[in-house]
Structure 1
């Protein structure tokens, strides 16, 4: 059995963490095992991974001293003799985390999970070094690959696949889950996003401000947490948005997807958001920012809108909610054909990591 050291997990269960978790659950554990190096004080799902035989090493973050962080990374790799380090990254600045592995002559796999960044200067300064250091380059979409590595580099697209069976929609499930959740006759807008600048949360809240006037029984179920949590709570309070419910982190997002009426994601930028794949698997009508890669559209229920005009979003949401439930179904076959079945993708990733 080969043990792979994985970097990229944080203390917040977001899209990258969901990708790693989905892959891990479908690995052949007789051939491969994940261990984790984490530069956060705690790691999401740590109990699950420890129970399944993974090791977790905590190291200081770079902002507490670059040398201390890299020295700790060096010791983890050296003392445990890892031959492959799998870096899941958001911009080229993470190449600094790779330097200990590079100096120890280990195989470095870099996986891009974003198609833009707020740290553009750092990203473009270090992209050349990233391309030199990484032996294997992966990306969640073509847009994420071009952003991370540039046009001249070869990279492989690894789809953000999911367990499609968990998201299969039926009218019976919809009714049962809504009763269980207490949603009943409410019109539910689902918004699953980390509470940070990239996800454009105040735009989503402003949509709810407008909808409060036109659809009295509309509610936004907001799943997620993050650094903007207190600002978001204050904004909701200041604007009397009693039609927004903060659900925090959840382990039943598949059920929320089935029970909701529409999904929105007005992000400023993305790689290929796994929540958008999940929403489409559940047959949800889905509205995405035009800044999100068009590769994200897998079935006809997904639509792209500009984020410079809230009125367009409000109008689209109103139209969808009026017709909600009509002709909704899960097109698992289309998603399988598009390459989003987790079993196949996990097998491909395993081959890359082991070989």
Structure 2
């Protein structure tokens, strides 16, 4: 069995962490095992990974001391004799973390999960260095590949696969989950699953929630997530009188929340893909995405892209959402379409495992 060192996990369960978790559950662990190196004080789902035989190595963050961080990474790789390091990255600045692996002559696999960044200066300064160091390049979409590596030909697309069975919608499940959650069967629920940080455009989303409440006070807004902007989000809700909003924090039953909801919004400033959009479509949920998200995120006709550049766009989002949830359109999950589009986690895990082992 080969141990692969994985970098990219944080202390917050977001899209990248969900992707790694989904893949890990479907690896052939007679052949491959993930270990992790993390530069956060804690790592999400650490208990689960430890129970399944993974090692977790904690190193200092680069912000604390670049030299200490890189030296710690060097020791982890050297002392445990890892041959392959799988870097899940959001911008080219992550290439600094790859230097110890490069100097030790290890196989570096760089997987792009983003199609833009707030750190543009750093990203474009280091992109050439990233292309030089990382011989194996992966991306979740063509947009994420072009952003991270430039327009190159030798980048392999790895879809953000999910367990399609977990998202199968039925009216019976819809009623059962709502009953357990205490959600009224006659009420409408709009879902927003996003880390609380600038990329996810939380204040725009909260303005949509406020406008929805003005248009139809019976519609509930469900906010799932946590993150560095938690205090700002809570203050914004209080100061702007955003009503009928439910803050659920980090949840590990998002598949059930999607089955039980009536629409999902994701007005992000940018995404590599937006895995929650794929999950929502697997649950046959109407989805509204910002037009800055890659077109790959649309699998079904019930998904629509909307603008976010102007404040008045909030009214458009709110009216579209309210009209949709009150239309009571029939829902039906279609595993075949999602699988043909490449989002079956079993096929994705098999593809990635082959890349990491060869």
TM-score bracket, normalised by the shorter chain, equals over 0.9
Closer, same or farther: CA 95–153 of 1 in aligned 2, 3 Å: farther
The answer for unaligned runs of 5 or more in structure 1 is: none
The answer for unaligned runs of 5 or more in structure 2 is: none
Aligned to 2:243: 242
Q: Does 1:347 align with 2:350?
A: yes
Q: Does 1:124 align with 2:127?
A: no
Whole-Å Cα distance in 1 between the matches of residues 319 and 217 of structure 2? Answer: 15
C-alpha contact (below 8 Å) 2:215/2:319 kept by paired residues: no
Closer, same or farther: CA 164–223 of 1 in aligned 2, 3 Å: same
Whole-Å Cα distance in 2 between the matches of residues 352 and 211 of structure 1? Answer: 46
Aligned to 1:273: 274
Aligned to 2:289: 288
Which deviates more from structure 2 when the two are superposed, residues 184-193 or residues 66-75?
184-193
| SS in structure 1 of the partner of residue 63 of structure 2 | helix
Where in structure 2 are the equivalents of 1:93-108 lying within 5 Å? 93-108=93-108
Whole-Å Cα distance in 1 between the matches of residues 154 and 249 of structure 2? Answer: 38
Which deviates more from structure 2 when the two are superposed, residues 38-47 or residues 235-244?
235-244
C-alpha contact (below 8 Å) 1:143/1:271 kept by paired residues: yes
Where in structure 2 are the equivalents of 1:7-46 lying within 5 Å? 7-46=7-46
Where in structure 2 are the equivalents of 1:156-171 lying within 5 Å? 156-171=156-171
Aligned to 1:321: 325
- How far did 1:34 drift? 0.3
Whole-Å Cα distance in 1 between the matches of residues 152 and 12 of structure 2? Answer: 34
Aligned to 1:216: 217
Whole-Å Cα distance in 2 between the matches of residues 211 and 43 of structure 1? Answer: 36
- How far did 1:161 drift? 0.6
**TM-score, with length taken from structure 2:** 0.98
- How far did 1:178 drift? 1.1
- How far did 1:243 drift? 1.1
1:296-349 Cα offsets, whole Å, 9 max, x none, are 10111110000121111011112101213x221111110011111100110000
Aligned to 1:187: 188
Aligned to 1:58: 58
Where in structure 2 are the equivalents of 1:193-212 lying within 5 Å? 193-212=194-213
| SS in structure 2 of the partner of residue 137 of structure 1 | strand
CA RMSD of aligned residues (A): 0.7
Aligned residues: 354
Ranges of 4+ aligned residues in structure 1 off by more than 4 Å: none
- How far did 1:239 drift? 1.9
C-alpha contact (below 8 Å) 2:113/2:273 kept by paired residues: yes
**TM-score, with length taken from structure 1:** 0.99
Whole-Å Cα distance in 1 between the matches of residues 209 and 350 of structure 2? Answer: 41
Which deviates more from structure 2 when the two are superposed, residues 64-73 or residues 303-312?
303-312
- How far did 1:214 drift? 1.6
1:23-59 Cα offsets, whole Å, 9 max, x none, are 0000000000000000000000000000000000000
- How far did 1:259 drift? 0.2
